[in-house]
Amino acid sequence: MKIQLALDRMSIEEAAAMVRRTEPYIDWIEVGTSLIKEFGMASVEALKREFPHKTIVADMKTFDNAKYEFELCFGAGADVATVMGAAPPVTVALCVETARRLEKQVMIDLLHTSPEQQRELAGHPGAIHCLHVSKDQQEGGGLRLQGAGGSRAAAHDAAGEREGSGDGADGGPGAEGAACLRIAAAGGITLESLPGLLALKPEVIIVGSAITKAPDPAQAARRFQELIREYAGEGGLRGRSIYDEL
């Protein structure tokens, strides 16, 4: 399980400084949408140049013009780029194909997708499927991604379980294939909410302000890492499926 540090609403210099402080405890570096919109591909290039051994995620939130935007990100040094799951299916498919062709990765943001869309998106099992509570939902409605209730249902839908179709004979993944989906979780994740989310067995935990706005970001990042390792050490990541907690 990886920790992805989300860097938003700061300068490139501030983002790099934050990574330097937390580097031993994080795995992936997310160049947030706000950095990309304000500074363009220079933000991706700068972070990849300084941290070449870290996985760089460009949170482009592509909704159209898939091939161009993904080639732009990957050309700047990104290892992963994001596409909105609510985008037209052809756009998502082009993002997946572009990433595959360039030997990169794609993360599908499930924000504001319907259960039907989520089941269709499960047809891209090699992609990372990101359960996401938006910044506006967090700030306006006080919502956070939790390890129960709504997020479990979202994970269930993201996994694409089809009632009565366990073998995926219709071309869908079926329950067996769905259990193999790569899951990321994002949206106001804190040290307090983390234990519940770990039960969903995400491949990537995306953390932003709980680290970047902490009094001691390095200490906060270290504590996230410790909790994840404690969970893994207790067997929490062994022999479990995304369905176990649904």
Tens of pLDDT, residues 178-228? 457 999 999 889 999 998 888 888 999 999 999 999 999 999 999 999 999
What proportion of the chain, given as a percentage, has pLDDT over 70?
Answer: 76
Q: Count the domains in the chain.
A: 1
Q: Residue 46's domain is classified under what CATH number? A: 3.20.20.70
pLDDT for 171? 34
Q: Is residue 19 part of a domain?
A: yes
Q: How does 158-169 read in b/e, with b if 16+ C-beta sit within 10 Å?
A: bbbbeeeeeebe
Q: Is residue 39 part of a domain?
A: yes
Q: Is residue 164 part of a domain?
A: no
- Asked whether the whole model's pTM tops 0.85, one would answer no
Q: Is the pLDDT of residue 240 over 80?
A: no
Q: Is residue 245 part of a domain?
A: no
What proportion of the chain, given as a percentage, has pLDDT over 90?
Answer: 69
Which of 33-42, 74-83, 157-166 has the weakest average pLDDT?
Answer: 157-166
Taking the chain, what is the end-to-end CA distance rounded to the nearest angstrom? 19
Q: Is residue 75 part of a domain?
A: yes
Kindly state the tokens that stand for 240: 């479990």
**Eight-state DSSP code of residue 60:** E
Label residue 21 by pLDDT band (50, 70, 90). very high
Q: Is residue 173 part of a domain?
A: no
Tens of pLDDT, residues 134-168? 555 544 544 445 543 343 444 444 444 433 333 33
Q: Is the pLDDT of residue 90 over 90?
A: yes
Angle between helices 89-101 and 66-75 (to 10 degrees): 30
Over range 36-54, report the average pLDDT: 99
Rounded to the nearest 5°, which phi and psi values hold at 57?
-105, 120
What CA–CA distance (Å, rounded) separates 8 from 33? 7
Q: Which residue has the higher pLDDT, 230 or 237?
A: 230
Range of the domain at 210: 2-147+179-234
Label residue 36 by pLDDT band (50, 70, 90). very high
DSSP bridge pairs for 131: 185
Q: Is the pLDDT of residue 83 over 90?
A: yes
Q: Is residue 81 part of a domain?
A: yes
Over range 51-65, report the average pLDDT: 98
